[in-house]
């Protein structure tokens, strides 16, 4: 948006920064549209500094805004008094802007932050007019001795609006023009109003302050820095170094914006960078730890099983172990959970190797879990552990293995890998309560310490004879050398979760091994118990065939659980049958009632009510 001040010395064209200082621009353009500046004099001229105007003709040192009162400053770091031709609001202090403004003859950096810059002069002809004004003599108070006056003002569109890069400004200009015309339509002809008001009464405090002081005395001007290279002399025309295109803030991004505008974005970006770094470092640490665990237990697995990893790759089936195999046999389920797989061993169908590590990639989640554990016993504290689950064949080789004939053409012995079902465990005392609450199968056992084992573990068994059979010297030695990192060793044929249906009680044999992760990174102490765990199925196939008395005791517990489930299911089915019976009775009653006329329906309902009352009375009598 631009305006032209038609003065008695010539025309001065001014571009207004509507987007940067909207309120100041609205005030200036509304005053222009309401003829407020008509016949306004340039009442102050300080050579080599500025020329001031904007007061109404009736009050050479007064003036007010379109709102009838002073309005606040719109100081922008990108708009500075940094060139000749800058147009700025005159004031008597902070937030005392009215109608007066001034045009700079040179740089005035001492005014930055004090006066609102809202435009600049366009074109050499306008600058030449200012140069001629600068030649006028002034008195001691810097008042021009010759009359310099604004005759009238013309508002017209931005001359640069035809450029594509200024379309946004063009839209803003249209909106502002609509607001200016709104002020004009409402009759805000401020100059006419002031003239009429001044004839009939004393000036209002809002229109002319009682002190009648000028808006900008510039008492500090004598000490302001002056750039001699751009000083405007009264005897020379004004010359400004400017680009071929008229200067606006849209051509210089360093003047439109400052680093201070992006402080909030910088804080958010820094926070995101820290989160990403923590995530990357934590994920990398977990991956490295998981690879180290597989590297420690991998040679033992490679020696016991034909295939390692989820895919039958050639590298995992090599005769010799190498650390290069680690990447092929490990799978990352999440940044804190890793898994591996093994198969191809006698008496063992397959093996799952699971690693759970701390959530180093998310410290807040780690802290939340630790805090919740302090208040709720049901929430486990964050720990690192290794869980290995071994699934025996249990005589089901024909279902799980290919039907290729053996080299000797002898029929396969299906029962050679079977052993009796039972629940037995060695458990670390620190987690015994948690395991008993979480696992249904361990709830079937009784707990008893053994003098052969360290005092930090206990035995959970369904029979003492089973304990005597399974407590082999190799197992006892492995428990002792585990250095307290053994969490549990469980042999079970019952489900982990409480069975809901009878089908859930079908025996499925599994062997669980839970180990802690040593903070030192030395897994040597865990290898003996791990090696015994892998060979435990061989011992069970040979030794886990107990006397009928032991099996009767074990099976009685299972039969009792099945009986309770059967009773619960029978009660549920009976309840469903009763609901169906009641539903059919209600349907039959509704059909009978619907087939009757109104009198018969009334009689039917009365009889039904009587039967219900007799029934309730009978119940009360029986209770007494």
Summarize pLDDT for 159-179 with one digit per residue, the tens. 444 444 433 443 444 444 445
Dihedral Cα 121, 124, 128, 130, nearest 10 deg: 10
What is the reported pLDDT for 457? Answer: 95
Instruction: Give the tens place of pLDDT for each residue, 559-580.
Output: 888 888 888 888 888 999 999 9
Instruction: Give the tens place of pLDDT for each residue, 259-302.
Output: 888 899 999 999 999 999 999 999 999 999 999 999 999 999 99
What is the reported pLDDT for 113? Answer: 92
What is the reported pLDDT for 449? Answer: 92
Distance between alpha carbon 22 and the CA centroid of its chain, in Å? 35
State whether residue 541 is helix, strand or coil.
Answer: helix
Element holding 65 (H helix, E strand): none
pLDDT category at 83 given cuts 50, 70, 90 is very high
What is the reported pLDDT for 272? Answer: 95
Domain layout of the chain by residue ranges? 2-257, 419-546, 552-623
pLDDT category at 88 given cuts 50, 70, 90 is very high
pLDDT category at 206 given cuts 50, 70, 90 is very low
What is the reported pLDDT for 237? Answer: 42
CA–CA separation, 42 and 466 (whole Å): 112
Domain 2-257 has CATH 2.40.100.10: yes
- Comparing CA positions, the residue from 418, 312, 396, 285 lying closest to residue 349 is 396
CA–CA separation, 27 and 44 (whole Å): 22
pLDDT category at 315 given cuts 50, 70, 90 is low
> What average pLDDT does range 347-352 have in this prediction?
94
What is the reported pLDDT for 388? Answer: 97
Instruction: Give the tens place of pLDDT for each residue, 318-343.
Output: 667 887 888 889 999 999 999 999 99
pLDDT category at 242 given cuts 50, 70, 90 is very low
Burial of 29 (0-12, 13-18, 19+ CB in 10 A): buried
Instruction: Give the tens place of pLDDT for each residue, 492-519.
Output: 999 999 888 888 888 899 999 999 999 8
> What average pLDDT does range 364-387 have in this prediction?
86
Question: Do 423 and 491 form a contact (C-beta atoms < 8 A)?
Answer: yes
Distance between alpha carbon 603 and the CA centroid of its chain, in Å? 69
Tell me the average pLDDT of the chain.
82
What is the reported pLDDT for 214? Answer: 54
Identify the weakest region by mean pLDDT among 33-47, 236-250, 367-381, 591-605.
Answer: 236-250
Instruction: Give the tens place of pLDDT for each residue, 378-420.
Output: 777 888 999 999 999 988 877 777 665 555 555 555 557 889 9
Beta bridge partners of 427: 458, 488
pLDDT category at 184 given cuts 50, 70, 90 is very low
What is the reported pLDDT for 370? Answer: 86
What is the reported pLDDT for 568? Answer: 86
CA–CA separation, 280 and 269 (whole Å): 16
Q: How far apart are the first and last CA of the chain?
A: 98
> In this structure, are strands 50-53 and 348-356 parallel, antiparallel, or unpaired?
unpaired
What is the reported pLDDT for 216? Answer: 59
For residue 240, pLDDT beyond 50: no
In the sheet that holds 86-89, the strands lie side by side as: 40-41, 149-156, 2-7, 10-16, 117-122, 86-89, 101-104, 50-53, 44-46
What is the reported pLDDT for 374? Answer: 85
The pTM of this model reads 0.57
State whether residue 29 is helix, strand or coil.
Answer: helix
Beta bridge partners of 40: 150
What is the reported pLDDT for 9? Answer: 95
Q: Please tell me which residue, 182 or 619, carries the higher pLDDT value.
A: 619
pLDDT category at 241 given cuts 50, 70, 90 is very low
What is the reported pLDDT for 380? Answer: 77
CA–CA separation, 588 and 596 (whole Å): 13
For residue 586, pLDDT beyond 80: yes
Q: Please tell me which residue, 66 or 623, carries the higher pLDDT value.
A: 66
What is the reported pLDDT for 207? Answer: 37
3-state helix, strand, coil in the chain (%, to 5): 45, 15, 40
What is the reported pLDDT for 235? Answer: 37
Please compute, for residue 565, the number of CA atoms within 13 A of its CA located in the half-sphere on the CB side: 15
CA–CA separation, 272 and 50 (whole Å): 49
């Amino acid at each position: 948006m631009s305006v032209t001040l038609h003065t008695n010395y010539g025309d001065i064209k001014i571009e207004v920064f509507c987007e940067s200082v909207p309120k100041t621009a609205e005030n200036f353009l509304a005053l222009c549209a309401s003829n407020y500046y008509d016949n306004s004099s340039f009442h102050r001229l300080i050579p080599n500094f500025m020329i001031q105007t904007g007061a109404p003709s009736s009050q050479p040192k007064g003036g007010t805004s379109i709102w009838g009162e002073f309005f606040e400053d719109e100081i922008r770091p990108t708009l500075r008094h940094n060139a000749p031709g800058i147009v700025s609001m005159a004031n008597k202090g902070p937030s005392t802007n009215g109608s007066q403004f001034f045009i700079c003859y040179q740089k005035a950096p001492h005014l930055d932050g004090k006066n609102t810059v809202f435009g600049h002069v366009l074109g050499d002809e306008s600058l030449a007019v200012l140069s001629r004004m600068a030649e006028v003599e002034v008195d001691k108070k810097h008042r021009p001795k010759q009359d310099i006056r604004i005759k009238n003002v013309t508002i017209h569109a931005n001359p640069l609006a035809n450029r594509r890069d200024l379309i946004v400004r063009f839209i803003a200009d249209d909106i502002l023009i609509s607001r200016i015309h709104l002020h004009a339509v409402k009759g805000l002809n401020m100059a006419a109003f002031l003239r009429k008001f001044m004839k009939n009464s004393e000036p209002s405090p809002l229109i002319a302050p009682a002190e009648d002081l000028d808006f900008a005395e510039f008492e500090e001007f004598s000490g302001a820095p002056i750039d001699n290279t751009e000083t405007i002399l009264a005897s020379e025309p004004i010359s400004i170094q400017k680009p071929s295109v008229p200067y606006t803030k849209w051509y210089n991004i360093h003047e439109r914006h400052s680093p201070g505008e992006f402080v909030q974005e910088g804080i958010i970006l820094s926070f995101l960078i820290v989160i990403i770094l923590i995530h990357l470092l934590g994920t990398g640490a977990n991956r490295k730890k998981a690879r180290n665990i597989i590297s420690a237990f991998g040679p033992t697995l490679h020696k016991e099983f034909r295939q390692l990893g989820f895919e039958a790759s050639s590298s995992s089936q090599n005769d010799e172990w190498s650390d290069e195999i680690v990447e092929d046999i490990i799978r990352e389920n999440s940044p804190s959970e890793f898994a591996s797989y093994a198969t191809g061993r006698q008496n063992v169908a397959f093996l799952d190797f699971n690693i759970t590590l701390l959530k180093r990639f998310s410290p807040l989640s780690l802290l939340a879990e630790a805090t919740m554990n302090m208040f709720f016993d049901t929430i486990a504290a964050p720990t690192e552990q290794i869980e290995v689950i071994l699934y025996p064949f249990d005589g089901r080789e024909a279902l799980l293995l290919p039907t290729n004939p053996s080299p000797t053409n002898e029929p396969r012995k299906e029962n050679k890998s079977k052993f009796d079902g039972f629940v037995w465990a060695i458990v670390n005392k620190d987690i015994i309560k948690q395991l008993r609450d979480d696992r249904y199968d361990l709830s079937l056992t009784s707990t008893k310490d053994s003098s052969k084992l360290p005092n930090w573990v206990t035995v959970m068994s369904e029979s003492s004879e089973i304990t005597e059979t399974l407590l082999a010297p190799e197992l006892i030695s492995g428990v002792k050398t585990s250095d307290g990192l053994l969490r549990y060793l469980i042999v079970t044929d019952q489900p982990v979760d409480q069975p809901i249906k009878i089908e859930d009680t079908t025996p499925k044999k599994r062997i669980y091994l839970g180990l802690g992760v040593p903070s030192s990174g030395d897994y040597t102490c865990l290898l003996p118990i791990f090696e015994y765990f892998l060979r435990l199925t061989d011992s069970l196939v040979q030794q886990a065939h107990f006397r009928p008395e032991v099996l009767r005791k074990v099976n009685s517990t299972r039969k009792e659980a099945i009986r309770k489930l059967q009773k619960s299911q029978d009660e549920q089915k009976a309840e469903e049958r009763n609901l169906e019976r009641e539903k059919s009775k209600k349907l039959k009653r509704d059909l009978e009632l619907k087939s009757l006329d109104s009198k018969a329906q009334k009689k039917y309902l009365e009889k039904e009510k009587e039967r219900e009352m007799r029934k309730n009375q009978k119940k009360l009598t029986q209770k007494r």
